[in-house]
Each structure stands twice: as C-alpha cells, then as structure tokens.
Amino acid sequence: MTQSAIPSPKKGRQLIDEYFIETRHRVIEIAAYLDRLDRSGDPATTSDFRSGALREALAVLCDGSYPRVDRIQMIFSDPTTEPRAELDQKAAKGAFDPEQEKG
C-alpha cells in the first residue's frame, strides 16, 4: 500500500525539487564505494556477506515495487527466530552472516 495516514504537504515534482540533489549524492557515493572495492582487487570483497546483502538491496531499488525501504531492512535482518545460546560479540555488523550462525 502506498497510502499515507498523513499526506505529504509537498507533492510529486515538489518532492523531487526538494530531495533530488541529496539523493543523487547518495547514489554516487554507493557507486564510488563499489569502485573502491574493485580497485582493491580482493575477491573477498565480493564474497563478503555484507556485499551480498548490499547487492540484494540494490536490486530492490530498481525493481519498482513499494515499499522498498521495508524490504531492504528485511534483507539486512537476521531471519532466524531462536535466541542465541550465548553472547558472541557486543556489536552488530549491519547484515546477517549465515556462515557465522552455522558456527
């Protein structure tokens, strides 16, 4: 559903006028990040679990179906439902690592 409880006071073209430049900037930043990884020449950058999640997320940006942000959030999320047996590390990494979970 693309409806809102509270409609944005700014509409269509006005939203583009307001937010295009900063969004364009973010897309270029992503491109530069991916190029930086390529220049490092390390194939591990492609196989890293975070890179895999990022590729999946980028595909969602282009498939035209709403809501992109909710779907991307789930790509980066731990899909399991059982608690961990014990604490492995204090900090989260930003994407789910299936290999680590297999232990």
Partner 1 sequence: MEYIDMHAHMVSRTTDDYHQMALTGCVAVTEPAFWAGFDRGSADAFEDYFRQLTEFEPNRAAQHGIRHYTWLCLNPKEGENRELAKEVIERIPKFLDRPTVLGIGEIGVNRVTRNEIATFHDHVQLAIEHNQLIHIHTPHLEDKYKGTRLIVDALLQYPEIDPQRVMVDHAEEHTIEMILENGFWTGLTLYPQTKVTAERAIDLLERYGLDRICAASACDWGHSVPTAVPELILALRRRGHTNELIRRVVYENPIGFLGQSPKFDLLPRSAPGRSARSSEAPVEVGV
| Closer residue to partner 1 in complex, CB, 43/91 | 91
Instruction: Give the other-Cβ count within 10 Å of 70's Cβ.
Output: 9
65 near partner 1 (CB under 8 A): no
Q: Is residue 77 near partner 1 by the rule CB under 8 A?
A: yes
Query: Segment near partner 1 (CB under 8 A), from 7-15, 31-39, 40-48, 55-63?
Result: 7-15
Could you give the dihedral angle defined by the CA atoms of residues 45, 86, 92 and 49, in that order, rounded to the nearest 10 degrees?
A: 20
Q: At what angle do helices 68-75 and 49-62 cross, to 10 degrees?
A: 170
Choose one: 27-35, 38-46, 54-62, 74-82; the region binding partner 1 (CB under 8 A): 74-82
Binders in 19-48 for partner 1, by CB under 8 A:
19
Q: How far apart are CA 13 and CA 5, in angstroms?
A: 21
CB of 68 to partner 1, least distance (A): 10
Burial 47-56 (b: 16+ CB within 10 A, else e): eeeeebbbee
Q: Which residues bind partner 1 (CB under 8 A)?
A: 4-10, 18-19, 67, 69-70, 73-74, 76-81, 83-96
